[in-house]
Amino acid sequence: MTLDHVAIQTTDIAASVKWYVEHFDAQVLYQDASWAFLKMGGNKLALVDPRQHPAHVAVSVTGEQLEQASAAHGIKIDGHRDGTKGIYIKDPSGNAVELICYPPGETIYGKK
Amino acid sequence: MTLDHVAIQTTDIAASVKWYVEHFDAQVLYQDASWAFLKMGGNKLALVDPRQHPAHVAVSVTGEQLEQASAAHGIKIDGHRDGTKGIYIKDPSGNAVELICYPPGETIYGKK
């Protein structure tokens, strides 16, 4: 399975986006007031508002893998406005891990 | 510039490595008592002991870019046992960002 992205928390999305773009030529895939999605080289970094999203590691899974994990952990699958769906579980140290399933084809972020 | 890896903190490296391998078929590039380096799909995740390493985002840079950043931020470049060198800076929200420069050719982690 593929590590899709990692999300870190930031108190000012706009200032952080500006900083990552200026320092590292990050490409902005998406941005609103509560989070932003950046691409740096082939990899993706999410910047999230701590009041709305946990810091997390996101692993890309198939629909079948997501259904299995949902059943195994007893956690209901959440659909997101962007067409992705997923669940959050915890690793042994309590880090949030999102299992994320992308819809077929393109998303608003471009090809996954 | 490329997002090389992200490091998250874990209180038990061995237990966390086992969990990421079992759940996500993570490939173990390196592991000792203080940290581990995992590959999941094309991307890398570091698991670090909070007593020894900060959680961080690592951006791969050239030697020249590292020299420039070192001068701009007034931070001395650190050499690591694995042949990489780098500096840590902070993003606007205080997240640690490592600028990491890989030596030419292969590292102990395989091709970068």
Give, for all 112 residues of chain A, the pLDDT tens digit: 899 999 999 999 999 999 999 999 999 999 999 999 999 998 999 999 999 989 999 999 999 999 999 999 999 999 988 889 999 999 999 999 999 999 988 777 765 4
pLDDT at residue A62, as a whole number: 95
Q: Which residues contact B18 (CB under 8 A, 6 or more apart)?
A: none
Nearest to A45 among B8, B16, B57 (CB): B57
CB of A82 within 8 Å of any CB in chain B? no
CB of A95 within 8 Å of any CB in chain B? yes
Average pLDDT over residues B59-74: 96
pLDDT at residue A111, as a whole number: 55
Chain B nearest C-alpha distance from A9 (Å): 8
Nearest to A79 by CA among A66, A91, A68, A92: A66
Task: Tell me the two tokens of residue B16.
Answer: 């966390």
ipTM: 0.88
Q: What are phi and psi of B44, to 5 degrees?
A: -115, 140
Walk across the sheet containing B78-79 and list its strands: B27-31, B35-40, B43-48, B2-9, B56-60, B96-101, B85-90, B78-79
Average pLDDT over residues B87-99: 96
What 3-state class would DSSP assign to A8?
A: strand
pLDDT at residue A109, as a whole number: 75
pLDDT at residue A110, as a whole number: 67
Task: Tell me the two tokens of residue B76.
Answer: 């001395």
* Dist. CA A15–CA A91, nearest whole Å: 30
Average pLDDT over residues B72-86: 93
Residues of chain B with pLDDT > 90, as a percent, come to 83
Q: What are phi and psi of B86, to 5 degrees?
A: -175, 180
* Dist. CA A79–CA A91, nearest whole Å: 22
pTM, two decimal places: 0.90
In degrees, to the nearest 5, what angle opens at C-alpha A39 toward C-alphas A89 and A103? 55
Query: Which helix (DSSP H) or strand (DSSP E) does residue B69 occupy?
Result: helix B63-73
* Dist. CA B41–CA B19, nearest whole Å: 16
pLDDT at residue B110, as a whole number: 67
Residues B47, B38: contact at Cβ < 8 Å?
yes
Strand A2-9, strand A96-101: pairing: unpaired
Confidence of residue B111 (pLDDT cuts 50, 70, 90): low
Average pLDDT over residues B30-47: 94
Buried b (16+ CB within 10 A) or exposed e, B20-46: beebbebeebeeeeebbbbbbeebbbb
* Dist. CA A66–CA A85, nearest whole Å: 9
The nearest alpha carbon in chain A to B98 belongs to A24
pLDDT at residue B91 greater than cutoff 60: yes
CB of A41 within 8 Å of any CB in chain B? yes
Task: Tell me the two tokens of residue B60.
Answer: 């791969």
